[in-house]
Amino acid sequence: MYKAEVRGPLILGNKDYSQITRDIIAPIDARAPIWWKVAMGISLMAAAWGMVALYMTVRYGLGTWAVNNSVAWGWEIINFVWWIGIGHAGTAFSIFLLILRQKWRTSINRAAEAMTVFAVMCAAIFPAIHMGRVWLAFYIFPYPNTRGSLWVNFNSPLFWDFIAISAYLLISASFWYFGMVPDFASIRDKAKSKVKKAVYGLLAFGWTGSSKEWLRYEGLSYILGGIAAVLVVSVHSIVSTDFASSVIPGWHTTLFPPYFVVGAIFSGFAMVMTLMIVIRKFYKLEQYVTDAHLNAIARILVFISLIMGSSYATEVFMAWYGGNEYEMFTFFHNRITGTYTFMFWAMITCNAVIPQLMWSKKVRNNITALFIISLVINVGMWYERYNIVVTSLAKDYLPSSWTLYSPTWVEIGIYIGTLGIFITGVLLFFRFIPMIAISEVKSVLKPTSITKYTKKH
């Protein structure tokens, strides 16, 4: 029998199928722990601050932000790209590994998909409020309107972005939800209280686990997985063309689409690692999310970090090699040195230097170190977007138009608010949804565990 010795066992302990169900739904049956309530309180307060900031924006307009004629895109677009990046990698993780038949995804995919849905919801807030008059957001729908047969610009990356993000939210939410249906049925059939039985029964859509259902379920998973893999690549490529199709120095480069896609996967994988460390620690799921799982994510992060470092070097090299004075100025006098130099070096340190520590097996096996590095990467990816957006806009072609930018409390408030919304969503996920895909973990129990099963063969 195949024992997956290269990767080590995926599930530790002498588990049987029923034990897996019990372990994973235990947090749903138990009372909410104190730390959960405290975290929920803090994240709701953050979300409330965000709501106040959003109200100020809608009530008084974009004048409440520090954006100006030069730096027309500020924290909002930075945060949009940051969230969408985190959101992309969650599904990328789940879907790419599904298509590549990587069975170690089974303990992690559910949380990664949940993270995706909440992150994309946070991301979607930013383009909407960036319109200023958010109640007119429907203008971007392609419909024959009452002002004549005037259509939206189908050739604009900004419109592609809107459609791509909507499609991405739809597909990632569907992929996530339908993945949970068999697990909701497990909870329904184990529930003792009538309310729980009714609620999870409704969510389970009448799932029974018959061969007919599994056949179509698998078909749906692979269809959605196959097309979502294309979408993951195309959506962040489109986000990059929002920048690359302009003539702003530092943006106008063909490197942007792959650079953005890889960056998105980088930040998402880092966030997956953060989340999985929290889950295994607080819910005692170390036997499902093993050190080997974290080790595998760490190795992927190290590899992607090298690509990120190469991308940063390529940008600088092309600015020098192209000989364009504006590109030279942006990279050498406004990033490597200059007013925003901290952002540039923070980006390099967090994304290209610190992750290299994970070459060491000692670091990969140290959960605290991995947790810190995963947070550092997410901070670094935020700095990357700041670097791209603000440095290129603050000092462009005309020195008379140069303006410095620092955010107002409203802009900071919206960002804090989205962090609050994200963490609230994740905490609700911890509490009411199986954090690990029960049926998928059961399917890898025998071939990959050192349990009573493998000992027999």
Partner 1 sequence: MSKPYFVSIFAEEEKLLAGIKAVKEKKVKIDEIYTPYPMHEVIEAMGQKSRFTFVAFLYGFSAAVAVLAFLYYTSVISWPINYGGKPTSAFPSFIIITLVLTIASITILSLFTFSIRAKIYPGKKYVLPDLRSTDDKFVMVFDSEKAGTGFDDLNKMLKDCGAEEVYTKEL
- If the CB atoms of residues 164 and 308 are measured against partner 1, the closer one turns out to be 164
The tokens for 15 are 């588990």
Cβ neighbour number for residue 65 with a 10 Å cutoff: 23
> Does 208 participate in binding partner 1 (rule CB under 8 A)?
yes
38 is a site residue for partner 1 (CB under 8 A): no
Reported as type and span, the H/E element at residue 393 is: helix 392-394
Find the binder of partner 1 among 41, 132, 206, 322 (CB under 8 A).
206
CB of 396 to partner 1, least distance (A): 22
Contact yes or no for 449/10 (Cβ under 8 A)? yes
The three state secondary structure string of 181-202 is HHHHHHHHHHCCCHHHHHHHHH
Under the binding rule (CB under 8 A), the answer on residue 454 touching partner 1 is no
Is-contact 39 426, C-beta < 8 A? no
The residue range among 77-85, 153-161, 281-289, 379-387 that interacts with partner 1, by the rule CB under 8 A, is: 153-161
Interaction of residue 234 with partner 1, rule CB under 8 A:
yes
Q: Which residue in this structure is represented by tokens 């609620």?
A: 199
Whole-angstrom CA distances from 267 to 89, 237, 319, 385 are: 7, 15, 25, 12
446 binds partner 1 (CB under 8 A): yes
- Give me the residue label for tokens 């025998």: 446
Q: Is 409 among the residues that bind partner 1 (CB under 8 A)? A: no
Q: Which two tokens mark 55? A: 């109200």
Does 88 contact partner 1 by CB under 8 A? Answer: no
Q: Are 417 and 266 in contact (CB under 8 A)?
A: no
CA–CA dist 339, 111 (Å, integer): 39
Q: Any contact of residue 443 with partner 1 (CB under 8 A)? A: yes
Closest approach, Cβ 359 to partner 1, in A, equals 36
- Select from 430, 443, 440 the least CA-distant residue to 118: 430
User: Rounded to whole angstroms, how far apart are CA atoms 419 and 302?
Assistant: 26
Nearest residue (CB) to partner 1, 231 versus 426: 231
151 binds partner 1 (CB under 8 A): yes
**CA dist list (Å): 101 to 12, 113, 299, 443, 444:** 20, 17, 18, 13, 11
In terms of Cα–Cα distance, which of 162, 176, 163 is closest to 224?
A: 176
Residue 100 Cβ vs partner 1, minimum distance, rounded to whole Å: 18
Q: Residue 7 contacts by C-beta under 8 Å, 6 or more apart in sequence?
A: 104, 292, 296, 448
10 lines the binding site for partner 1 (CB under 8 A):
no
SS3 57: helix
Q: Is 26 in the site for partner 1 (CB under 8 A)?
A: no
Assign 334 to helix, strand or coil.
Answer: coil
Among 146, 149, 193, 368, the residue binding partner 1 under the rule CB under 8 A is 149
The least CB distance from residue 262 to partner 1, in Å, is 19
C-beta of residue 402 within 8 angstroms of C-beta of residue 102? no
Q: Which of 4, 51, 167, 262 binds partner 1 (CB under 8 A)?
A: 167
Nearer to partner 1, 218 or 325 (CB): 218
When binding is defined by CB under 8 A, the residue of 18, 145, 246, 360 that contacts partner 1 is 18
Which of 150, 195, 247, 398 forms a contact with partner 1 (CB under 8 A)?
150
214 touching partner 1, by CB under 8 A: yes
Give the sign of the dihedral formed by CA 5, CA 8, CA 14, CA 19: negative
Rg (alpha carbons) of the chain, rounded to whole number? 23
Q: How many chain residues are in contact with partner 1, going by CB under 8 A?
A: 60
User: Whole-number minimum distance, CB 187 to partner 1, in Å?
Assistant: 9
Residue that has been written with the tokens 């106008």 in this structure: 252
Sole window of 30-38, 40-48, 229-237, 291-299 interacting with partner 1 (rule: CB under 8 A): 229-237
Shortest distance (Å) from residue 65 CB to partner 1: 29
Give the separation between CA 85 and CA 264, rounded to whole angstroms: 4
Nearer Cβ to partner 1 (224/297): 224
Q: Considering the complex, what minimum distance in angstroms separates the CB of residue 225 from partner 1? A: 11
Between 72 and 230, CB nearer to partner 1:
230
Q: Tell me whether residue 238 or residue 285 sits nearer to partner 1 (CB atom).
A: 238
Which of 4, 52, 58, 181 forms a contact with partner 1 (CB under 8 A)? 181
Where along the sequence are the contacts to partner 1 (CB under 8 A)? 16-18, 21, 142, 144, 149-151, 154-155, 159-160, 163-164, 166-167, 170-171, 174, 178, 181-182, 185-186, 188-190, 202, 205-220, 222-224, 227-228, 230-231, 234-235, 238, 439-440, 442-443, 446
